[in-house]
Amino acid sequence: MGEILNKVKLSETEERSIPTDRAKKYVKIRKLEEEIAREKSVLEELSAEEIAAIEDIFKKDIVDEVPQYLSVKEVSMLTGLTPQIVRRHCANRKYAAYQPGGGNGTWHIESSRFRTYPNWLDFIQKRNELFSNSQQVAKLAVQLWDEDESEKSEE
């Protein structure tokens, strides 16, 4: 990584205005992120064959993180469709999905169809971040509950 950062050049103004080497390193990383985002946006319209080849490379890395089923909300977030349209696609069998509670209830939509979407990896990362945040909230709630219970037992 150090070699890549050494290739990123800062302007003279940036060099003078950034006080520390750590801050300069951070600015270089931000510049790289911006350049990667620009390059990635140019490549968004990949063919199905190109996407499949890319997915084969990264499939091994994210297998454990990929859910077997997605919710209506997740498919909506991934595709940009409204939740109502996603539900309609499920009911019309456009998406491989089922309702565990029978004819009423939530849909479980197979994720395999969506793995070729250009923003799939970003979606998985965001989904994992949301899950991690939920876990932290749950841990804090349990901690507060335990503290409250211990205070009650002391009284």
pLDDT in tens, 42-56: 777 778 788 778 777
pLDDT of residue 154: 67
40 — phi, psi (to 5°)?
-65, -40
CB 31 within 8 A of CB 40: no
pLDDT in tens, 99-118: 987 777 899 999 988 888 88
Classify residue 72 by burial, with Cβ atoms within 10 Å: 0-12, 13-18, 19+.
Answer: buried
* Total residues belonging to the chain: 155
pLDDT of residue 71: 93
pLDDT of residue 59: 62
Q: How far apart are CA 115 and CA 55, in angstroms?
A: 8
Structure tokens at 33: 């992120």
Question: H/E element holding 154?
Answer: helix 120-154
Nearest Cα to Cα of residue 73 among 34, 126, 133: 126
Buried b / exposed e across 82-114, counting CB within 10 Å, b at 16+?
A: eeeebbebbeeeebebeeeeeeeeebbbebeeb
pTM for the model stands at 0.49
Type of residue at 28 = K
What average pLDDT does this structure show over 46-70? 73
